[in-house]
Amino acid sequence: MTLSDVLRRMPLFASLSDAQREALAEHCLTAPCARGKIFFMEGDEAAGLYILLEGKVKVFRAAPDGREAILHVFGPGEPFGEVAVFQGGKFPASAECVEAGRSLFLPRTHLLERIAGDPALALRMLGALSLRLRAFAAKVETLTLMETPQRLAAYLLLTNDERMEQTGGKTDAGFQLDISKALLAGLLGTARETLSRCLTRLVEQGAISLDGRTVRILDRKFLEGL
Amino acid sequence: MTLSDVLRRMPLFASLSDAQREALAEHCLTAPCARGKIFFMEGDEAAGLYILLEGKVKVFRAAPDGREAILHVFGPGEPFGEVAVFQGGKFPASAECVEAGRSLFLPRTHLLERIAGDPALALRMLGALSLRLRAFAAKVETLTLMETPQRLAAYLLLTNDERMEQTGGKTDAGFQLDISKALLAGLLGTARETLSRCLTRLVEQGAISLDGRTVRILDRKFLEGL
DNA sequence: CGAGCCGTTGATATCACTCAAACTACGTGG
DNA sequence: CCACGTAGTTTGAGTGATATCAACGGCTCG
């Protein structure tokens, strides 16, 4: 599969003409990334944006003492590091690979040219950022209003529904957590230990069943009513 | 001052030609807003975006039990409700006036036309959303990593610096909190009572002085080192 | 085989939320 | 002029949830 094909599959660039996409592809750099690779650190000057082709990346802000707040975990097809391209020039957070894969780098100047020349692309980009803002709004809400068990329940329900949508599935065989529990704890803004305790409690209460990373929702009402 | 002049003063629309601005102004609706007025509720269908001319607006997400997580408090010149224009069509949060003023409404379709026709406007809009994302990143970090006293300290330092920048001031006469303490508590993700206690503690520790809404930073190092 | 990451469980202390009450300032209307 | 309501703020007391420290077993990978 050529790079141009890859770009066409991405919603963000679906509106580009073949010629535009070819031009864009020529300016892209792909690179493999190993677990632990740092894409950028908070405050770094941003030369462009990244798009993940395979693997997983966590975007986070770190405190001096080493603790970190995970803002997002991105999977294949998702862009990250856009904020610095459009405003401020410096990354507001750090990004690190947590599962090996491949990434694509898009130089800032070229991206800006493309956007300036293609209103549809600009609107898609606006849509992508808006989606991110929605996610943040939900995150702030859960962090402010809910305690860990509720946050966990909300995450499980959301993830379950996403998976069901993708697989189209009636399959009530449960779903796989696609990130480690340590990462999930960070995403929920809590400690690994607390997450572990909450999960076992949910199992005891009969709300879910848990086998490794496989989760099955048993009592949806219960989770919603937490 | 005409509506067109108002638009020119806004960074968002500075790039528009006079003719474009006139056209835009014709499609805008201005309206006074009283304290307590609801602009929109989470989930409402969005017909356009709002820009605040005077007064203050809080944007929040509400829980069934009445508690709410405040996402932003906007002042004059700031747009809100954009997310729904670019993605999803429904507002992800609610907006309520907390200080009487005037607002401006911009119909969605007209705004989209303008953006499609003006790459510079599109880029400014992207910049505005990116700025919002930065603010959210900082908010998630403080909610996750810091406790209330530290969040408060971070807020005070930030606000102080903003004010000093605006007034250009060497004036170390302190600054005014421009929102009520109840609102501030919501913004910090804590309860009114807790905020009150934290403030008096900071005064006791000699880090700040406090008189009504006037705050003076006495020991910057101390606040930074919390 | 050892190092590192992952996951779990236990014990402890602390923070912050909740409920409850009073106190200020401010305006209105009797 | 005072009684009253409302909004904003402060203080007190009690309780529950969570972070933190610590230790352990399983797992994979070099």
- The average pLDDT across A56-72 equals 92
| Cα(B18)–Cα(B38) distance, integer angstroms | 33
* pLDDT score recorded for residue B168: 66
pLDDT tens for residues A174-219? 888 999 999 999 999 999 999 999 999 999 999 999 998 999 999 9
Which two structure tokens, joined as six digits, stand for A68?
């970190």
**Band of pLDDT at residue A171, cut at 50, 70 and 90:** low
What pLDDT was estimated at residue A73? 95
Is there a contact between A95 and A80 (Cβ–Cβ < 8 Å)? yes
Task: Report residue A8's pLDDT band, with 50, 70 and 90 as the boundaries.
Answer: confident
Nearest Cα of chain A lies from the Cα of B92 at a distance, in angstroms, of 6
* B5 close to A (CB below 8 A): no
Is residue A155 scored above 90 in pLDDT? yes
Asked whether the predicted pLDDT for residue A25 surpasses 90, the reply is no
Q: Does A116 touch chain B (CB under 8 A)?
A: yes
Number of CB pairs < 8 Å for A and B? 152
Mean pLDDT, to the nearest integer, of A114-130?
A: 91
pLDDT at position B85 is 95
pLDDT digit string, tens, across residues A125-145: 999 999 999 999 999 999 999
Contact assessment for residue A160 and residue A153, using Cβ atoms and an 8 Å cutoff: no
pLDDT-based confidence at residue A14 (cuts at 50, 70, 90): confident
Cβ–Cβ of B126/A189 closer than 8 Å? Answer: no
Please answer yes or no on whether A126 and B88 come within 8 Å at the CB atom: no
- CA–CA separation, A159 and B80 (whole Å): 29
What pLDDT score was predicted for residue A147?
94
| pTM for this prediction | 0.92
Q: Which residues of A touch B88 (CB under 8 A)?
A: 130-131, 134
Question: What DSSP letter does each residue of chain B carry, written as one string?
Answer: --HHHHHHHSGGGTTS-HHHHHHHHHH-EEEEE-TT-EEE-TTPBP-EEEEEEEEEEEEEEE-TTS-EEEEEEE-TT-EE-HHHHHTTSB-SSEEEEEEEEEEEEEEHHHHHHHHHH-HHHHHHHHHHHHHHHHHHHHHHHHHHH--HHHHHHHHHHHHHHHHHHHS-----S-EE--S-HHHHHHHHTS-HHHHHHHHHHHHHTTSEEEETTEEEES-HHHHHH-
Mean pLDDT of A86-95: 94
Mean pLDDT throughout A25-42? 91
Q: What is the pLDDT of residue A130?
A: 95
Token pair belonging to A157: 């329900």
Query: Which of A83, A126, A189 lies nearest to residue B133, judging by beta carbons?
Result: A83
What is the mean pLDDT for each group of 10 consecutive residues in chain B (226 residues)?
80 81 87 90 94 92 90 92 94 93 92 89 93 96 95 93 75 82 94 95 92 90 89
* Residues 6+ positions from A101 with CB-CB distance below 8 Å: A32, A33, A52, A53, A54, A55, A56, A76
